[in-house]
Structure 1
Amino acid sequence: MSIQITRSPMGIVTCLLDNPQRRNALNGVMLQALCETYEAAGQGDGIRAIVLRGAHGTFCAGRDLRELESRQDDSDASIAERIAPVTRLAQAVRQCAVPTVAVIEGKAVGLGVALASWCDLVLAADDATFQIPEARAGIVPTYTAVSLAQAIGQRQALAMCLGGRSLGALLAQTYGLVQQVCPAAGLDDDLDTLCQCLIACGPQALRQCKDLLVRARGQPFDVAIESAAALSVASMRSAEALEGMQAVLGKRPPAWTQPPRQDC
């Protein structure tokens, strides 16, 4: 099996990369399954967050090179067709309506680093490493370089892409790629704590916050503040905000912290 997708009663979807022979490198089947999962998250089916991690103590070794091996008779169109699923996945993760979390254990290599950078939050074990070795094989790390430049800045992206050296979790945190470094033995507990924090927040509030920040990227400050003001009015009038404020005043959990009812 190359990927396992599970869902908790509270709507936390976990995508577990499980391709041990290739160190969880992404093949076409895995890319398709991931794209469909992230694209479906905004369709109102109660998904609260998507967690991405790797099985067997490692995150992801990048793209499965067996599907990308160059041939002399390759055309531009055939190469573009083979890499198109990566473009789709990049857009699916970055545009996902719900919070996305990457959990890094062992190694994140090449496209695996880009995959982490597309997620909203990255948790890493303290012994995890990040590496972008494509240039050593004469390949431009295109997706990863662009993704990192947008996520952590051009100079930090260059530091990771030029030379292909391995980077530890703590240094990746100083670069801004990782938000939280956890002891390897306590990674699952820290992930559970994060998921509980996400569940405690209003689902629409989180989705709208993500959308606001995407729209505000690159906007002049005054324009971004006007967008924030408009959303504030709409948010305060929403049923979710009314429920949340009543829950706070009534010192009770809000309704969205309970599993959805299953109709018989």
Structure 2
Amino acid sequence: MKNIGDTLKRLREENGLTRKEAADKLKKLGIDISDKTLYGYESGRNSANADMFLSLCKIYKCNNIMETFSETVEDILFTNNEWEMVEQYRALDPIGQSHVDSVLDWETTRLSSLKEKDERIAELQAAPATIIELSSHSGSRHLAEYFHDASAGAGIFILGNEAAARIAISDSDWDERTDYVIRVNGDSMEPDYKDGDNVMVSQHMELDYGDIGIFVVNGKAYIKEYGETELISRNPDYPNIIVHEADNIVCMGKVIGKLEGKYEIISN
């Protein structure tokens, strides 16, 4: 099946409509919707229910839905179970339908976030951190990628593919699970992690509630405790980060310790 979000965006643009203009047309059909919700449909973060989908096709003058959205006939066919679910949905009152819509939106967003996380992990695994052993007077050392910074406060815009430097870690302080090292910026995670601390991060360990992780929220990196609905600051003087449905959040790994011994930061 063709990507539904991309196809909806293409149809809108072919009709010369902005998202706001498309939302205004839907409102004339009795459907109250925002241009932000339309963006959610086009980006794949949310899914339009059947009534909304048909209304969009109507204002976009899409007469052949099967040909427009499907590569083959099989893509558009429903199983008996799917037909039964559609019939049950139509039998619900508006409140019931809104509950189902909320669950579908939540699950779609969850899967989209998992996909983004998996893609990021695959990208990092394809270009793993450089870790080698070097001989020195103080014993063997290990090199890993070094980033600065992860915010313990308002957020730092980092963690693309760039490593600011490499860090040479002494054998006694090395943890073989380390994928990269990142510096803490700010004091919202005190007393456990202080401004200027360098923490070791593993990208392959499972993160449970209560663990400390590196998170990128809407393009800004934070070191925070993983909570059920928020990212937690351990310093009570700082607020937690509430995670909203529309936020783009990716976990970049679990913090497994901080460097206490000798290390050397090496410029690229």
TM-score by shorter chain over 0.5: no
Question: Between Structure 1 and Structure 2, whose CA radius of gyration is higher?
Answer: 2
Specify the TM-score bucket, using the shorter chain as the normaliser. under 0.3
Which of the pair is proportionally richer in strand? 2
The TM-score with structure 1 as length reference comes to: 0.20
